[in-house]
């Protein structure tokens, strides 16, 4: 598991805020928040469907061993192959073996976060197999050698001018004076370039939004149609999935589909929802001759035990990050690995370790919007708090923070002393404020605050004294 820069989250975040191109791209926005709300408002049953989606996922996770066995039986019965992989390395090697058996030179790829998680592209390239990303956003970040910055909009951190510069740099076979002013012409160019790649590929790799135990089916959900060309044209279709993608039946998947696109992009349905089962049948005129599903664990089965099990309900819609004030300020790359935003802040420490990713659960204002909009009602703030507690217990938090907390705890455990100390402190600050026009531009121990804005001087009372006064007033 390479390329983890989560330990330097703070530096990443500062750089992101100072990056004008990133800030420009992030401020353009897709209107994710408004679109989701409008879609939810159009469907009176939306909240009931969220409850249903949560319950289906909980039921599946509680019976995951049995649903995996049932799923495997259905895939095999219809001519497909299921490969289990405990680790990222095992998954990479399984994919490579399948590619080598058909002497694959190039593979096309639909968008799959699992492939990012196991760093598949670098590995295949090293072994002489050329991977070609076909989702437009993934293609752009592949030619920039970057990681996705959003789980459903991988190139959301880029603006049109940056994409134009990259296309001119990479598509050198095209006339240098061509006009690429409009997003539509950029899209047309990518479509033409990738069309050739689709037709030439030996193997197509896609992810899976869901695996259905009832029928042994894998599902991808896309808007571009790239995933479908990826899995229809080559000789071999490989599906990369993880154990928690299982859903019992077609009826269950309908519940999840009804909340997925609405939560993600505010569409009632994405353009293409494709159900794939086994290889092409005997008389089929097209489709892949082989169908392989690689099911990765990579630490997830251990998450089933204990407080992070709820995270395995995630259906990767991206609503939590779209609604997150921290994500919208710093973008996805600052999180330093594959999964950004609130879901990443919970999942990343589980998958790469809290020692590496301990900063992420701290990158939250605890406003609670992520949980409010989650289609499967994952208690993200609670789980971020759990990670903070674990980080503290394992002595991974910085010394200044620990001594600060110890200092605060000393007073917090002694209420009369606490009241006395805060009273004295507030009066002193209020008095000092009179000499600084009621605002401090520097304060000892609060440099992190005053570096960016003034600290308003307290008015004299403490929170507790004000609370007491107003409550008395009200009654």
Partner 1 sequence: MSSRNIILASIRRSLGVSGKEAPRRKAVVDRLKQHPSGVVPARGQLAPKERIKLFCTMVEAANGTVEEIPRANDVPAAVAAFLRSHNLPMSVRRGDDSRLTAFPWDRERTLEVTTGPSDGGQLASVSHAFGAVAESGTLMLTSGADNPTTLNFLPDTHIVVVDAKDVAGDYETVWQRLRDKYGEGTMPRTVNMITGPSRSADIGQTLILGAHGPRRLHVMVVGDQ
Which of the residues 307 through 336 are near partner 1 (CB under 8 A)? none
- Quote the Cα angle for 376-223-78, to 5°: 75
Tokens of 275: 């159900």
Which position among 44, 176, 398, 444 is part of the footprint of partner 1 (CB under 8 A)?
44
Binding to partner 1, residues 135-154 (CB under 8 A): 135-137, 140, 153-154
Beta carbon nearer to partner 1, 81 or 388:
81
Alpha-carbon distances of 469 from 11, 312, 457, 473, rounded to whole Å: 43, 46, 20, 6
What's the min distance (Å) between Cβ of 134 and partner 1? 7
Rg (CA), the chain: 25
Query: Residue 71's closest CA among 282, 285, 249, 257?
Result: 249
Beta carbon nearer to partner 1, 280 or 390:
280
Beta carbon nearer to partner 1, 227 or 342:
227
For residue 183, state whether it binds partner 1 (rule: CB under 8 A). Answer: yes
Asked if 224 and 195 count as a contact pair (C-beta separation under 8 A), the reply is: no
For residue 59, state whether it binds partner 1 (rule: CB under 8 A). Answer: yes
3-class SS of residue 406: helix
For residue 302, state whether it binds partner 1 (rule: CB under 8 A). Answer: yes
Binding to partner 1, residues 158-177 (CB under 8 A): 158-160, 163
Helix (H) or strand (E) holding 131: strand 130-133
Which position among 176, 177, 283, 445 is part of the footprint of partner 1 (CB under 8 A)?
283
Which position among 5, 23, 301, 430 is part of the footprint of partner 1 (CB under 8 A)?
301
Q: How far apart are CA 298 and CA 353, in angstroms?
A: 12
Q: How far apart are CA 432 and CA 434, in angstroms?
A: 5
Beta carbon nearer to partner 1, 192 or 417:
192
Q: How far apart are CA 122 and CA 132, in angstroms?
A: 11
For residue 284, state whether it binds partner 1 (rule: CB under 8 A). Answer: yes
What's the min distance (Å) between Cβ of 311 and partner 1? 13
Q: Where does this chain touch partner 1 (CB under 8 A) — which range of 22-30, 350-358, 394-402, 417-425?
A: 22-30
Binding to partner 1, residues 189-218 (CB under 8 A): 191, 194-195, 198-199, 213-217
Beta carbon nearer to partner 1, 223 or 397:
223
Beta carbon nearer to partner 1, 177 or 286:
286
Beta carbon nearer to partner 1, 187 or 425:
187
Q: In sequence order, which residues have a C-beta less than 8 Å from that of residue 90 and are 6 or more positions away?
A: none
Burial (CB count within 10 angstroms: exposed 0-12, middle 13-18, buried 19+), residue 386: middle
């Amino acid at each position: 598991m390479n390329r983890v820069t989560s330990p330097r989250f703070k530096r990443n975040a500062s750089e992101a805020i100072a990056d004008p191109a990133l800030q420009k791209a992030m401020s353009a926005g897709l209107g994710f928040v408004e679109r989701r709300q409008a879609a939810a408002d159009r469907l009176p049953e939306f909240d009931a469907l969220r409850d249903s989606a949560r319950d289906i996922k909980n039921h599946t996770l509680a019976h995951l061993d049995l649903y995996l066995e049932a799923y495997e039986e259905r895939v095999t019965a219809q001519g497909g192959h299921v490969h289990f992989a405990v680790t990222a390395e095992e998954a990479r090697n399984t994919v490579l073996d399948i590619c080598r058996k058909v002497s694959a030179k190039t593979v096309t790829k639909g968008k799959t976060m699992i492939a990012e998680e196991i760093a598949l592209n670098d590995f295949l390239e090293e072994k002489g197999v050329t991977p070609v990303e076909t989702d437009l956003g993934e293609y752009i970040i592949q030619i920039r050698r970057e990681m996705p910055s959003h789980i459903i909009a991988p190139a959301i951190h880029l603006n049109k001018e940056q994409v134009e510069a990259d296309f001119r740099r990479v598509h050198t076979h095209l006339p240098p004076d061509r006009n690429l002013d409009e997003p539509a012409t950029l899209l047309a160019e990518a479509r033409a370039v990738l069309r050739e790649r689709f037709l030439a590929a030996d193997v197509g790799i896609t992810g899976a939004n869901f695996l259905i135990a009832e029928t042994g089916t894998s599902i991808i959900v896309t808007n571009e149609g790239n995933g479908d060309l990826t899995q229809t044209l080559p000789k071999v279709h490989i599906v990369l999935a993880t154990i928690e993608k299982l859903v019992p039946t077609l009826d269950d998947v309908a519940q999840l589909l009804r909340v997925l696109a609405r939560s993600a992009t505010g569409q009632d349905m994405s353009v293409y929802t494709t159900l794939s089962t086994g290889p092409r049948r005997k008389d089929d005129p097209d489709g892949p001759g082989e169908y392989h599903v690689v099911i990765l664990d990579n630490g997830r089965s251990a998450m089933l035990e204990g407080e992070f099990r709820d995270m395995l309900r995630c259906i990767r819609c991206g609503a939590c990050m779209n609604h997150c004030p921290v994500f919208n300020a710093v973008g996805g790359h600052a999180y330093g690995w594959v999964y950004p935003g609130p879901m990443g802040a919970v999942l990343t420490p589980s998958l790469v370790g809290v020692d590496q990713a301990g900063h992420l659960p701290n990158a939250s204002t605890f406003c609670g919007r992520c949980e409010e909009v989650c289609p499967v009602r994952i208690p993200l703030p609670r789980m971020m708090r759990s990670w903070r507690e674990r980080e503290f217990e394992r002595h991974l938090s910085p010394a200044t923070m620990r001594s600060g907390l110890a200092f605060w705890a000393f007073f917090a455990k002694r209420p009369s002393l606490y009241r006395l100390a805060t009273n004295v402190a507030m009066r002193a600050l209020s008095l000092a404020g009179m000499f600084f026009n009621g605002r401090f531009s520097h304060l000892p121990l609060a440099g992190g605050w005053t570096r960016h804005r003034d600290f308003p001087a307290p008015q004299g009372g403490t929170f507790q004294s004000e609370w007491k006064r107003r409550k008395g007033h009200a009654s």
